[in-house]
Structure 1
Amino acid sequence: MTPNPLARRRQLASSLHALRTERGYNHAELSRRSGVSASVISRTESPLGDVHRKPNLLSVRRLLDALEVPRGSTLWTQVEGYAEDAAGAGWWEAPTYAHMGDGQRTYALVEAGASRVWEYAGLLLPGIVQTAEYARHRVLAVTSDGPASNPEAIVAGRLERHRQLIEAGKAEYQLVLEEQAVRRHPVPPAVMLEQLRRLLALMDDAISVRIVPVDARLGDGYAPRAPFAHTSYPDLDDPPIVVVDNVTRALLVTDPDEVSGYARLHQRLRDAALPDADSAAYIRDVAAELAAAT
């Protein structure tokens, strides 16, 4: 499986920062020794400043030379490998998806190469399981001052994320949904019915979905304030990442303690939710009620 580019940028950043501090160089001193600007060094060591910025392979090699890492050594090969993986192209960079939105591009970047995604959603179904029509209606309604500028590109991005992660069967996907997400109708009834049937088909084939009833007991009384996705990778040296959806953009959580907290929260929500089979029955009942009313 192709490594996650952002995870490898973080590995690259950590390795270069450790080597620089071990040698006792600040950014300016390493810049003089390597010929790489201090700003480039700083950005390479801070990959979360712009998660879509790729490292320059030539600059990384110059830094390794300046840091006196022997060419061909295990360390050189490892760090150079991080840089090569970090600079790899993702499907979301293709011209077809150029206008799918920065937030969704961030989701696609984080999901690349994932082995497991634990997602929570409150009032709406998350983009990665949406049908084209559900997604299209939600995209057109996403702003208060008018429709999104390129709705079809955004819809195409959501469908491709689904193909890459769920349809391809490359990762375990667990979704916890609040009851409102299937009871509410944020789209026309026929579109909502199609969406519920699609969700049931996915539950039969590929994913786990659990419904949290409105009267569920959460134990410690804590409930999430926003949708989030906790993503893990097959290489245990690549740390998990959480994406929090705050409507206007996707926020990344990378602090290990906070990331672990989200994992525990997702597990508590799953424990409080209806089991998979009961959740499927619940969704079937809602779909039947909706079909009878349309």
Structure 2
Amino acid sequence: MSTLDAVPNGIIRFGKEAARVTPNPLARTRRLGAALLALRTERGYSHAELSRKSGVSASVISRTENPLGDPGRKPGLLSVRRLLDALDVSRGSREWTIIEGYAEDAANSRWWDAATYTRMGDGQRTYALVEAGASTIREYAGLLLPGLVQTAAYARHRVLAVTGDTPVTDPDPIVRGRLERQRQAVGAGLARYQLVLEEQAIRRRPVPGDVMLEQLRHLLALMDGDAVSVRVVPVDAQLTAGFAPRAPYAHMTYPDMDDPPIVVVDNVTKALLITDSADVSGYAQLHQRLREAALSDADSAAYIRESAAELAAATREG
């Protein structure tokens, strides 16, 4: 039996089961890098000088200080401890404990490390990384429904529709990844999820009619809970300042207020991370403008329900 077979209808329903809040590994990696960079700068060491003193290669020091070049990379705890020793940070001091804690949080095992998810795809790994431990997820989608609300059937059809040099022949690993992302990100009821959809994402039929009907009904079921808000932007909506997003994005915040928010933008070929504070803040403001321009939660539910009814009638006629 596959992992998908264990999930009724391949659908994850967002609930409120108890779960432990874990720090976001990328946020902790960034805080680790910032702390080590500040210490090295304060001590006046170059990368080469600190490398000679610590026994840690200059390239590892650089990657640890600037983790966004390889955001999925885990820091080496031994290397971090060597660097702290070389930077004359006293073992057992508050500073040592805090910085070592960043490294331990960043190096912890992640659910996507399991063999089951090795083929879920690099793009999904990036999304899983920034979603981990989030307290709010604000997402925008234009033409297609995003992974966090997709049914298994919708996801499978979309994965198979992707073309390229190496077309996907086995969609199950990617679909499993999406379902687990749903469970981990908002399924435990820890994160509040605000989704803004363009009207086309509801009206367009990128999958067979019966699959789209199941998907719309699933979306309505998600909206019954307190953790999920879905708003639909009509095609004739008036946007404040006339600004509209050019690509799907997701804006994440975390329970620890010192963990900086992160935005991930889907540009079709890969997921891009936005970390500059001004840019991230701009996305938060954009999302609020989109929510204000959209139908209310109640009116959006009514719109989706009407679309589902029309699709059901058309499916019966067909």
Amino acid at match of 1:271: E
User: In 2 relative to 1, CA 150–45 (structure 1 residues): closer, same or farther, beyond 3 Å?
Assistant: farther
Q: Which residue of 1 aligns with 2:181?
A: 161
Aligned residue for 1:92? 112
Counterpart residue identity of residue 91, structure 1: W
Q: Which of 211, 223, 238 is equivalent to 2:232?
A: 211
**2: distance between equivalents of 1:64 and 1:276?**
50
CA distance in 2, matches of 1:55, 1:147: 33
* Partners of 2:255 and 2:246 in 1: CA distance: 29
2:152 alignment partner in structure 1 = 132
**Counterparts of residues 1-294 of structure 1 (less than 5 Å):** 1-144=21-164, 147-205=167-225, 206-294=227-315
Distance 2:137 2:207 in 1: 26
Counterpart of 2:236 in structure 1: which amino acid? D
> Segments of 4+ in structure 1 off by > 6 A?
none
Q: Which amino acid aligns with 2:28?
A: R
Q: How far apart in 2 are the matches of 1:59 and 1:146?
A: 38
Amino acid in structure 2 at the alignment position of 1:277: A
User: What amino acid sits opposite 2:235 in the alignment?
Assistant: V
> What are the Cα deviations for residues 86-109 of structure 1, in whole angstroms up to 9, with x where unaligned?
101110111000000000011001
Taking a change above 3 Å as real, the CA distance of residues 146 and 63 of structure 1, as seen in their structure-2 partners, is closer
CA deviations over 1:142-161 (Å, ceiling 9, x no partner): 12456314410000000011
Instruction: Provide the C-alpha distance between the structure 2 equivalents of 1:215 and 1:144, rounded to a whole number of angstroms.
Output: 34
Structure 1 unaligned spans of 5+: none
**Higher RCO (CA 8 Å, separation ≥ 6 residues):** 2
Q: CA deviation at 1:200?
A: 0.1
TM-score normalised over the length of structure 2:
0.91
Name the amino acid aligned to 1:292.
A
Cα deviations across residues 100-124 of structure 1 (Å, max 9, x unaligned)? 0000011001111100000000000
Figure out how many residues of one structure are paired with residues of the other and give that number: 294
Identity %, equivalent residues: 76
Distance 2:28 2:166 in 1: 38
Structure 2 residue runs without a partner (length 5+): 1-20
CA distance in 2, matches of 1:193, 1:181: 13
- RMSD over aligned Cα atoms: 0.9
